[in-house]
Amino acid sequence: MLELRYNPLTDEWIIVSAETQRRPVQPSQQSCPICVGGLELPEEYDLVSFENRFPALKRNPPDVEIESNIFLKKRSFGVCEVVVYTSQHDVALPGMPLKQIEKLIEMWVDRTVQLFSFDFVEYVFVFENRGKEVGASLSHPHGQIYALPFLPKRIIAKMEAFRKWYGEKNSCVICDVIAEETELKKRIVFETESFVSLVPFYARFPFEVHIYPKRHVTTLPELTVQERSELARHLKVITSKYDGLYNQEFPYMMMFFQAPIKTPDAGLFHLHVEFNPPKRDKDKIKWMASVETGTWAFINPMIPEQAAEMLRKVEVNLP
């Protein structure tokens, strides 16, 4: 079954996808479906983004049966893509050559431009789940893209927050945060000419990191070639620092928040990357339990400034 169901209790759409139950969990490299010669990619490749075999959304989804006037359903239009970063099974972002990450960014840019051109797409969400702790079913370095037919709740909330700040202060909230944080320094993890990576003052997860472009841009395609190159450096540095924290592959959710460009005032949005790692210590998880899941109120057991200091101290080879 593939359909969208409306939740009137929270005014949002839920994606029901029984197909994703069938997706594989990869036991070993020999059976990796996205290695060269694997089920999905029999031939050599450098980078590839392909439509998921078990998608939650489809370009041509099945019809839905209307049950009642209360229980609203819609066809689950959209696109779900698997984004394969490299043909090398064991080289994730920390160990990846910078040029490969730059090519990856260009792939994300192109996917964003193409997917936003579909009439049924309201939002393009680029992300990576790394580690079984966050539900990644394959270890080969990859991410995903969801081209959604509605604006998800948290994107609406972010857009409202940008509007509210602009309405009160006539400026962009992230632009203002950057100005303040680059003065204070205590939460900054890595900074270059065009980007700043920091543990936010308002971090929800223990080692949460945000990457902000210093220039007010709303989407990945608006980044210049130089800015894309710097973003690649930040992605490599931050993920390397994560792995260096406890000398282990550090699980995380990496999410690119781009403007909902079909909204008239999308220009208020400021592009940003969020890393939400679930670990709060070497072997301890910060679980999303009842408070977080039920009320969306987060409890962070780590002081953000301390997390920033710990990450700053992790030495990595700066590319």
Partner 1 sequence: MLLLGQDLSRFFQNVRCDDQSPFALRNLPNGFSLTYLGEERAEIEIFRCSREKSWFSKSDVLKGIVLEKDVLLGLVRFGKIRLVEETEQIVGFAEPRRGSSIIVLRGQGKFELFKKFVDTLWDFLGRVRVQTPKSVVECEVIENFPFDRANHLLMVRSEDEDLVHRFLQEGFQVALKIDDERKLSHFYDMGVRYFLLKNFDRGLCERFSDGHFVIEQGNLCESLGLAHGIVLDTENLKVEDLLLASLFNRLVVLYTKATPNMVRFMDVLGFGAMGWNRSLNPFFTKIEQSGDGLYRVQFVNEQNLPSMVFVDAHRSRIDWVEDSQRTLVHRCSKLNDDGRYFHFYVEGEDECSS
List contacts with partner 1 (CB under 8 A). Answer: 45-53, 81, 99, 102-103, 106-107, 109-111, 113-114, 116-119, 219, 221-225, 261-262, 264-265, 267
Q: Is the Cβ–Cβ distance between 314 and 244 less than 8 Å? A: yes
Residue 6 is encoded by which pair of tokens?
């409306």
Set 140, 142, 210, 234: catalytic member = 142
In the numeric block, the tokens 């036991």 are attached to: 27
Of 66 and 303, which CB lies nearer to partner 1 in the complex structure? 66
Looking at beta carbons only, is 3 or 102 nearer to partner 1?
102
The burial class, CB within 10 Å (0-12 / 13-18 / 19+), for 106 is middle
Q: By three-state DSSP, how is residue 303 classified?
A: coil
Active site residue 234: no
CB 205 within 8 A of CB 288: no
The C-alpha atoms of residue 92 and residue 239 are separated, in whole angstroms, by 9
| List of E strands, 56-122 | 73-74, 79-84
Q: How far is 147 from 121, CA to CA, in rounded Å?
A: 6
Q: Helix or strand or coil: residue 156?
A: helix
**Closest separation in Å from C-beta 91 to partner 1:** 17
Please, what is the end-to-end C-alpha distance for the chain in angstroms? Answer: 46
CB of 104 to partner 1, least distance (A): 9
- Least separation in angstroms between CB 124 and partner 1: 10
* Total residue length of the chain: 319
Amino acid sitting at position 128? E
Residue closest to 110 by CA, chosen among 126, 121, 96, 128: 126
243: three-class secondary structure by DSSP: helix
Phi-psi region of 104 (alpha: psi -120 to 50; beta: other; left: phi over 0): alpha
Instruction: Considering the complex, state which of residue 120 and residue 298 has its C-beta at the smaller distance from partner 1.
Output: 120
Structure tokens at 35: 């290695």
Compute the least distance from the CB of residue 194 to partner 1, in Å. 13
Q: Do residues 1 and 22 lie in contact, with contact meaning Cβ atoms separated by under 8 Å?
A: no
* Nearest approach, Cβ of residue 58 and partner 1 (Å): 9
Least spacing, CB of residue 122 vs partner 1, in Å: 8
Q: Show which residues are catalytic.
A: 142
